[in-house]
Structure 1
């Protein structure tokens, strides 16, 4: 499906030019609140001691003023596209940003930290913010909002917010496949089940704190991420079947458990957001989505550079809008835009 047809297909829900989802009548979203990894990190890692950073050029070169913000992209990330599409605001701020305003707090923030995962060991290996600590930060956020607007208004904000959770990629790619500890303890089915339990626990905790609309992303096609094609895809850099198989197994279990959980939680909408199949479609048919390259990133060779290896000395592709991946792991701004257009219509149906 080419992009023009795609826009027409989704026109009942989405203005392709304006980037706004049609929500049901009398429905509005108070805030966007994000947890997880670099897919939704908008700069929290800037304020912690870690090597997993992106607050330097060429990251952010297409952001407002060409400013690197700590987003793992050349521009906006999924959190920003969701915020705008749901009518909340243009950009989601990092919770740890010391210059965050009252308005920022009331309309949502991101607690996400690039490099983290559901597995606590994942955050330890990368020296980033564990999901459990992100949850504690959210409790602090609730207290700050309550102090500004009162308890009743605070509850309304939380109840009418949309929560996004992205994790699991680093659990597999870093903690399971790169370090032997978890492989000695679990096979893929057992480790996937462990990750699912952690994910379900997080959603339950969010619900206890007032969250009622929660979106949980699946794992992407791990074996087709550029750096994994380079490291494990052989001389031809093919997608790594073993990694993709692990992602599919995890996704199946996650979806089943989220569906069951939704049936047990009162007044809740929990959406499983497929990050696997849309990306496979884009990677296998890039031109149908307006891309020319989907097997390597725009930064450097695009085969292994990310974070500090993608820096001011790196050459970048001439036109990043033709690339789905920005570095060897993360989508470009356009990649995030296209993916958000694909999934948002179904998310709106699931949540409202």
Structure 2
């Protein structure tokens, strides 16, 4: 009897372990199905997840967990976010990474990877590694103690291991290969590292420096591809000379757009376009897409009334001429009351409304390139 009972107990234990394993896989399957319940406004196939790398344009709060001054987790940032919460997003509300997952019907918001409360369910549909003040040039992140692209890739490798541990190697590999990757970065390299400091400018012409940026960019794209990414969207640089801060610093008494800066951005963009075209022929199975934000943003600046904007040369926060990050705070009495009339939220970053318009245009025009 004793032997029989022991055998029966062992059998029960084995059945229970097997049942738990089956239930775990079933839960993951059910979650993946339910996570795709969000309505997609983009035609065509929907990726299982979105992975984002970049700078403050798409940082959803990773810098909250870093010892850096490049933060914005305080009012009035986030005043139009859910509950008026300052999450660390450099805007009055959502940022492009949030609109990407919304556009593709993946989920409502793309969370920061460094958020310690993230669960496996959050990882399955994608995360965001972006860090405010980062750039292609590692010096950009280094001077602000932000996450460089190398750091972001390191965290991506960690993310991959968490997926494997949670749902198994095969399913994790499928998510990695089928996900949509988006990269928003490069503006800090020109506005801060090149034009505003002596870190690079004394040693590089603008042509040579944009070549250096391209070299770093290509290295990153190759490493990302080697890690399994295939559907990669890369944004070009915006017309940085028309950012309110750059108008103030280098636009003269009239705070005009700084054409030299815009030409530098356009120079980088032309090189990036050529290299991406070449990469697609070199990397088997890759679908790397050049995403133009330069012209859509410049069009809004030149024709604001068509989209209901009234102010193009200042941000909503404070005077709108120089305030960004710590300078954009709740103690600014001149902060606007209606940011929907402004293209820019602070002196460097667009408003939620601007982001929505540009992302909607970007991915409705380019989604076919990924699939």
Q: TM-score range by the shorter chain?
A: over 0.9
1:348 paired to 2:335: no
Aligned to 1:29: 47
TM-score using structure 2 length = 0.88
- Residue in structure 1 matching 2:99, options 81, 85, 89: 81
Return the offset for 1:112: 0.3
Q: In the alignment, which residue of structure 2 is the partner of 1:317?
A: 336
In structure 1, the residue matched to 2:152 is: 134
Residue ranges of structure 1 left out of the alignment (5+ in a row): 1-17
Match runs of 1:26-105 below 5 Å: 27-105=45-123
Q: Aligned pair 1:162/2:180, yes or no?
A: yes
Larger radius of gyration: 2
Supply the distance in 1 between the matched residues of 2:221 and 2:355 (Cα, whole angstroms): 24
Q: In structure 1, how many angstroms separate the alpha carbons of the residues matched to 2:39 and 2:136? A: 31
Unaligned runs of 5+ in 2: 1-37
Displacement of 1:349 in angstroms is: 2.0
Q: Does 1:148 align with 2:145?
A: no
- Paired residues of 1:28 and 1:160 also in contact (CA < 8 A): no
Aligned equivalent of 2:40, options 8, 15, 20: 20
Contact 1:164 1:215 in 2 (8 A): yes
Task: Report how far residue 274 of structure 1 moved.
Answer: 0.8
Structure 1 window deviating more from structure 2 (175-184 vs 84-93): it is 175-184
Alignment of 1:233-272 (within 5 A): 233-272=251-290
| Superposed CA RMSD | 1.1
Q: Deviations over 1:36-61 (max 9, x none)?
A: 10111000000001110010010011
Aligned to 1:290: 308
Equivalent residues of 1:229, 1:239 under 8 A apart: yes
Q: Which runs of 4+ in 1 moved over 4 A?
A: none
Distance of 1:247 and 1:19 partners within structure 2: 35
Post-superposition offset of 1:19: 8.1
Tell me the distance in 1 between the aligned counterparts of 2:235 and 2:43. Answer: 21
